[in-house]
Amino acid sequence: MNPEMLSRLQFALTASFHYIYPPISIGLGLMMVVLGVLYIRTKNPLWRQMSFFWVKIYALVFAMGIATGVVQEFEFGMNWADYSRFVGNIFGSLLAAEGVFAFFLEGGFLGLMLFGGRRLGPRMWLFATFMVAFGAHFSAVWIIMANSWMQTPGGYTVATTATGARAVMTSFREVMFTPSFLSRIGHVLVSAWMVGTSLMLSVSAWYLLKRQHIEIAKAGFRISVLLFFILSLIQLFVFGSESAAVVAEYQPSKLAAMEGLWETQECAPMTLIGWVDKESGATRGIQIPCVLSFLAGGSFDATVVGLNQIPEELWPPLQMTFQAYRFMIAFGSLFIPIGLLGVIFYYWQGRIFKMRWLLWIFVLSVFLTEAVTMAGWAVAEIGRQPWIVFGLMKTAEGISPTLSTEQVVASISIFIFLYIALFALFIFLLNAKIQHGPDPLEEDKPVSALPDTFREVFGRARTS
């Protein structure tokens, strides 16, 4: 294999492994804010006990996110030097803005969130938690801006210099708000909130099955099950379908591969299950007529561009894009009935707490939300190929000219061994923490005695 293919594999590996964690930082971050608000409003110590439990899990997940995220900041320069040279003006400034606005926020307040629970009053602790969660969301905003620029570039002009072409910024507003940005950021944030709520549902369902920590498990369902259901609806009917429509308009080659559509046609069908047969130029499987036209163009007789209208060298890998998309749609849609059953049987006198089969489905839900999120990214990134910046620069043109096969083999081997070991340790420690369960709430001193305003925090000598 050549350095380009190896670098693509390495980037896919490191980015995918990294992206196990940020959706939890975002989604569980939101739930941590909810817990903090509930405690302040009700003064019920149950919410405080839950915060102390979940913040430990948050710490572990966040550490994994930091450890694997550092790689991303430098990998563009290491493996994709010509890409970095070409897009530095634009892509670099979005990454730098993410650092200045979001990473510092997370990094600054994380210590207060993780170590401040018994030193800060509930309001100040909530403030720190909110800032970390806000930082995680804000980080997603900038990185989706950057990625959306790679999908549907805007606000630039290409200038020629002595050492090659450069994309130069003409409008920062257009760079930030490219045509795909708004639907994609909605899609990404909702998916992250679904991962966060499903993690809470999963752990709560596990406790109910094991008949442990019943109060906390029921409270976990109470705050997340309805939210999870609503999010699953929004995801499919608002941001999911809107993202598909944007792809249809701006990235026809990606849409054709996602749907395995060969002929440009009106009333294009959508395949539910199937496979793309590249040899014979056909897609086989169960198809519903005209649905794709409706999703892509808003009416059942809208014209959708097929692969045969696009030169073959501009096709993305067909089977992978097609199957990743099928996987995302199939399991993403499944969250609606799962959520609905959860909502019905939770609010119907809490019958769900006795329904073991449904609880087992909720235990598994977090693995599904994570897997579906991965599949979504696979569609977005594999479907963009052969472009690194859609329509502007090929992936092959972005590679570092100095890179040798041996170098990338060495680095990818290190990453594979390291990440397998880290993932095993992460699951081991996460499982240990979940099995251990929430600790009983022990306060060294009454909550009301903790400093709970800026003046109290900064205006007096620390008493501990």
Partner 1 sequence: MTLNDIWFLLFVVLIAGYLILDGFDLGVGILHLLVAKNDTERRLVLNSIGPIWDGNEVWLIVGGGVLFAAFPLAYASLFSGFYLAMMLVLLFLILRTVAIEFRSKRKPKGWRTLWDVVFSLSSLFIALLLGVAFGNIIAGLPLDALGNIHINVFELLTPFPLLVGISAVAMMAMHGAIFLIMKTDGELQQRVKGYAPRLMIIFFVLNTLVVLAILLFQSQTMENYNGTLLLGVFPAIALVALIVAWRMVRAERYFSAFVASSAMIALLLFSGAIGMYPNLLISSIDASNNLTINNAASEENTLVVMLVITLIGLPFVLAYTAGVYYFFRGKTELTAESY
Binding to partner 1 (CB under 8 A): which residues in 46-85? 52, 59-60, 63-64, 66-71, 73-74, 76-79, 81-82, 84-85
Stretch that binds partner 1, among 90-98, 262-270, 304-312, 348-356 (CB under 8 A): 90-98
Q: Binding residue for partner 1 (CB under 8 A) from 16, 92, 165, 177?
A: 92
Closest approach, Cβ 58 to partner 1, in A, equals 11
Q: Binding residue for partner 1 (CB under 8 A) from 280, 349, 402, 448?
A: 402
Give backbone dihedrals phi and psi of 161, rounded to 5 degrees, phi first: -125, 175
**Cα–Cα distance, 332 to 237 (Å, whole number):** 11
DSSP helix/strand/coil, 389: strand
**Cα–Cα distance, 106 to 139 (Å, whole number):** 9
Q: Binding residue for partner 1 (CB under 8 A) from 24, 32, 50, 95?
A: 95
**Cα–Cα distance, 344 to 339 (Å, whole number):** 9
Q: Which amino acid is at 80?
A: W
Q: Binding residue for partner 1 (CB under 8 A) from 442, 448, 459, 460?
A: 442
Q: Per CB under 8 A, does 440 bind partner 1?
A: no
Closest approach, Cβ 443 to partner 1, in A, equals 10
Q: Binding residue for partner 1 (CB under 8 A) from 15, 46, 89, 409?
A: 89
Q: Per CB under 8 A, does 229 bind partner 1?
A: no
130-159: which residues touch partner 1 (CB under 8 A)?
Answer: 159
Q: Give the count of beta carbons closer than 10 Å to the beta carbon of residue 434.
A: 15
Nearest to 110 by CA among 20, 25, 17, 19: 25
Q: Per CB under 8 A, does 15 bind partner 1?
A: no
Give backbone dihedrals phi and psi of 284, rounded to 5 degrees, phi first: -110, 150
Q: Per CB under 8 A, does 427 bind partner 1?
A: no
Q: Binding residue for partner 1 (CB under 8 A) from 401, 440, 446, 459?
A: 401
Q: Where does residue 90 rank: exposed (0-12), middle (13-18), buried (19+ CB within 10 A)?
A: buried
DSSP structural state of residue 102? I
Measured from the CB atom, the residue of 311 and 401 that comes closer to partner 1 is 401
Number of residues that bind partner 1 (CB under 8 A): 79
**Cα–Cα distance, 338 to 369 (Å, whole number):** 12
Q: Per CB under 8 A, does 115 bind partner 1?
A: yes
Closest approach, Cβ 354 to partner 1, in A, equals 34
Q: Per CB under 8 A, does 400 bind partner 1?
A: yes
**Cα–Cα distance, 123 to 117 (Å, whole number):** 10
Which residues of 73-221 form beta strands (DSSP E)?
156-161, 164-169
Q: Per CB under 8 A, does 163 bind partner 1?
A: yes
Measured from the CB atom, the residue of 280 and 402 that comes closer to partner 1 is 402
CA 135 remoteness from chain centre:
15
167-196: which residues touch partner 1 (CB under 8 A)?
Answer: 168-170, 172
DSSP structural state of residue 403? -
Q: Per CB under 8 A, does 337 bind partner 1?
A: no
Terminal CA-CA length for the chain: 60
Task: Give residues with Cβ within 8 angstroms of 379, minimum separation 6.
Answer: 254, 258, 321, 324, 325, 328
Q: Per CB under 8 A, does 114 bind partner 1?
A: yes
116-135: which residues touch partner 1 (CB under 8 A)?
Answer: 116-119
Q: Binding residue for partner 1 (CB under 8 A) from 279, 280, 448, 458?
A: 458
316-335: which residues touch partner 1 (CB under 8 A)?
Answer: none
Which residue has tokens 């400093």? Answer: 451
**Cα–Cα distance, 218 to 200 (Å, whole number):** 11
Q: Per CB under 8 A, does 211 bind partner 1?
A: no
Measured from the CB atom, the residue of 92 and 285 that comes closer to partner 1 is 92
Q: Per CB under 8 A, does 91 bind partner 1?
A: yes
CA 212 remoteness from chain centre:
31
Closest approach, Cβ 12 to partner 1, in A, equals 17
Q: Per CB under 8 A, does 103 bind partner 1?
A: yes
Tokens linked to 60: 């572990």
Q: Binding residue for partner 1 (CB under 8 A) from 37, 46, 88, 265?
A: 88
